């Protein structure tokens, strides 16, 4: 036991000491903590207004959906490799040491809880959205974080148990899949009945979320019902559902520890896979397809183009081989469906397209890096090809430009149709969204050029995010000022101004990052391994 406590305490202490040698990391933490403290203080002096805010049942629905995503991930992971609760150094040093397997499991779970807390950090920044949307304060944010942590913790253990029980047993895997689906069937049936009865999707969803069926749905229902009950002051229900979550976690741990003392083998595959993935990242293999076990059928072969354009044709071949939709993958479908669902909620309300545009632009800040063009910078080929750097970058990013344009047209056209927006508005929103992606690419290259890529990925993302906000600010101010000066078509004028600013700023960023392939170090993904 002493050795495990020593490991936890010493690791935490060393992480803190490391901050003395990494001032940028320290500054980042200070900023994050100051930000959370600021939000907390602001919430103390701001009176929550419930006027115009949504019913708490919708907060429950959001939380339910959010945790449901983790449920699906946990079941999938459990059926594949199990979840990662240990590091490779634990496997090499701890598993072979004379420390009891049960205590080692507890150690893994404590470490995992720390990771779940760090992963849920972003929830703390949602204070303003919660206040405006639901009229609740900072204490509600803390409760949501608690619910999230408990749910994610339970799901990680569940994932480990699923792997342990189904590894190499296809019939059991099928049974788990069926059980996972069955758990949600009552909810789907109830919603369908409500929909037929009321004829209104929103009303049907509201009725379902308010029903005991939603509350008693495992994990997602328990966590969302527990948190929202506590927020609304219903302590008994709150403690009941969160207690249920904790109890199920404890029972799962007990079951694994008592029934399967030799669980090391079960966690080994996940740990090794994770380690290999991280090692691949540091070696430059940042394509997620490299570690995918999905069977790929090689039908059409060959790459078109000549010189720099070959990079674009290579991207086409890779994308169409990776999935049947080519450039437009699962995310594109989720985005369009999400936009459509959002539009159903916003029908009849003012400014629906603008809110949708804002949400999609925020998401795009972090999704732009998933394009093959930016990933290409982590592999040596693009640097060595004897072609103009400018054209190499242009051809390398053409794929993401096509992708974003089509996604934008589809999402805003469908949303516009549902919300009854005029064609001009749909076109303007699509233009702003597409040019924003173009600007984000420019800012990415500018960040690389400015820093020389000689910094950690975390600091790079921080600099990039700040740069996006600073560069967008003048355009946003100009758009709001000019747009508000003109009656009637003010919004369209504002969007036009913003689109123009995005275009000019993007061109400026590309011009300033000229020679990025010559004047930056080839970036390396640092994973801490």
- Interface contacts to another protein, rule CB under 8 A: 283-285, 287, 289-292, 296, 298, 301-308, 310-311, 314, 317-319, 321-322, 379-381, 383-388, 452, 454, 518-522
In whole angstroms, give the CA distance from residue 151 to residue 121: 15
SS3 per residue for 118-138: HHHHHHHHHHHHHHHHHCCCH
Distance, CA of 12 to CA of 205 (rounded, Å): 44
Residues 53 and 132: their CA atoms lie apart, in Å, by 6
- CB of residue 386 vs another protein: minimum separation in angstroms? 4
Q: How far is the CB of 383 from another protein (least distance, A)?
A: 6
Half-sphere exposure of 456 (CA within 13 A, CB side): 12
Distance CA 524, CA 285 (A): 10
Least distance between another protein and beta carbon 21 (Å) = 10
Query: Residue 332 Cβ, how far from another protein at the closest point, in Å?
Result: 18
Note every long-range contact of 469-478, with CB atoms under 8 Å and residues 24 or more positions apart, other chains counting.
471/439, 471/443, 471/505, 471/509, 472/439, 472/501, 472/502, 472/505, 474/501, 475/501, 475/502, 475/505
CB of 294 to another protein, least distance (A): 10
**Which CB sits closer to another protein, 378 or 462?**
378
Which is nearer to another protein, 307 or 474 (by Cβ)? 307
Task: Output 319 or 353, the one with its CB closest to another protein.
Answer: 319
Q: At its nearest, how many Å lie between another protein and the CB of residue 330?
A: 16
Question: How far apart are alpha carbons 258 and 250 in whole angstroms?
Answer: 12
Q: Which is nearer to another protein, 311 or 463 (CB)?
A: 311
132 contacts: CB under 8 Å, gap ≥ 6: 53
**Taking every pair of C-alpha atoms in the chain, what is the biggest distance, in angstroms?**
76
Nearer Cβ to another protein, position 60 or 449?
Answer: 449
The least CB distance from residue 405 to another protein, in Å, is 23
Q: Which is nearer to another protein, 10 or 380 (by Cβ)?
A: 380
Query: 58 or 378: whose CB is closer to another protein?
Result: 378
């Amino acid at each position: 036991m002493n050795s495990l406590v020593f490991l936890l305490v010493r690791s935490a202490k060393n992480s803190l000491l490391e901050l003395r040698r990494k001032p940028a990391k320290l500054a980042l933490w200070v900023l994050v903590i100051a930000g959370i403290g600021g939000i907390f203080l602001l919430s103390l002096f701001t009176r929550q207004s419930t006027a115009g805010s949504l019913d708490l049942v919708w907060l429950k629905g959001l939380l339910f959906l959010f945790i449901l995503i983790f449920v699906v991930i946990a079941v999938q992971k459990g059926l594949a490799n199990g979840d990662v609760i240990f590091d490779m150094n634990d496997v090499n040093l701890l598993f072979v040491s004379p420390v009891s397997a049960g205590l080692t499991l507890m150690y893994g779970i404590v470490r995992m809880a720390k990771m779940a807390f760090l992963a849920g950090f972003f929830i703390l920044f949602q204070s303003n959205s919660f206040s405006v949307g639901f009229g609740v304060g900072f204490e509600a944010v803390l409760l949501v974080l608690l619910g999230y942590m408990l749910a994610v913790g339970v799901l990680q253990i569940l994932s480990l148990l699923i792997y342990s029980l189904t590894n190499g047993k296809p019939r059991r895997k099928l049974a788990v899949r069926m059980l996972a689906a069955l758990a949600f069937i009552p909810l789907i049936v109830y919603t369908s009945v409500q929909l037929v009865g009321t004829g209104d999707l929103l009303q049907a969803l509201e009725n379902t979320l308010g029903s005991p069926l939603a509350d008693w749905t495992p994990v997602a229902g328990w966590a969302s019902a527990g948190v929202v009950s506590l927020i609304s002051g219903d302590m008994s229900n709150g403690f009941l559902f969160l207690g249920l979550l904790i109890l199920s976690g404890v029972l799962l741990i007990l079951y694994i520890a008592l029934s399967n003392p030799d669980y090391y083998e079960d966690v080994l595959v996940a740990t090794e896979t994770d380690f290999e993935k991280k090692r691949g990242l540091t070696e430059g293999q940042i394509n997620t397809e490299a570690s995918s076990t999905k069977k790929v059928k090689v039908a059409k072969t060959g790459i078109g183009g000549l010189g720099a354009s070959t990079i674009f044709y290579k991207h086409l071949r890779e994308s169409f081989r990776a999935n049947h939709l080519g450039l437009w993958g699962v995310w594109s479908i989720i985005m369009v469906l999400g936009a459509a669902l959002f539009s159903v909620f916003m029908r009849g309300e003012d400014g629906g397209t603008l809110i949708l545009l804002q949400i999609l632009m925020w998401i795009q800040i972090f999704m732009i890096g998933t394009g093959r063009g930016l990933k290409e910078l982590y592999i040596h080929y693009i640097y060595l090809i004897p072609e103009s750097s400018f054209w190499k970058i242009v051809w390398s990013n053409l794929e993401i430009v096509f992708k974003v344009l089509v996604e934008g047209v589809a999402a805003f056209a469908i949303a516009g149709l549902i919300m009854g927006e005029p064609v001009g508005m749909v076109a303007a929103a699509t233009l702003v969204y597409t040019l924003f992606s173009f600007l984000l690419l420019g800012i990415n290259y500018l960040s690389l050029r400015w820093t020389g890529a000689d910094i950690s990925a975390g600091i790079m993302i921080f600099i990039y995010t700040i740069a996006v906000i600073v560069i967008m600010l003048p355009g946003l101010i100009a758009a709001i000022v000019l747009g508000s000066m003109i009656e009637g078509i003010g919004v369209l004028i504002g969007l036009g101004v913003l689109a123009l600013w995005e275009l000019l700023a993007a061109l400026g960023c590309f011009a300033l990052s000229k020679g990025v392939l010559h004047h930056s170090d080839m970036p390396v993904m640092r994973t801490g391994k």
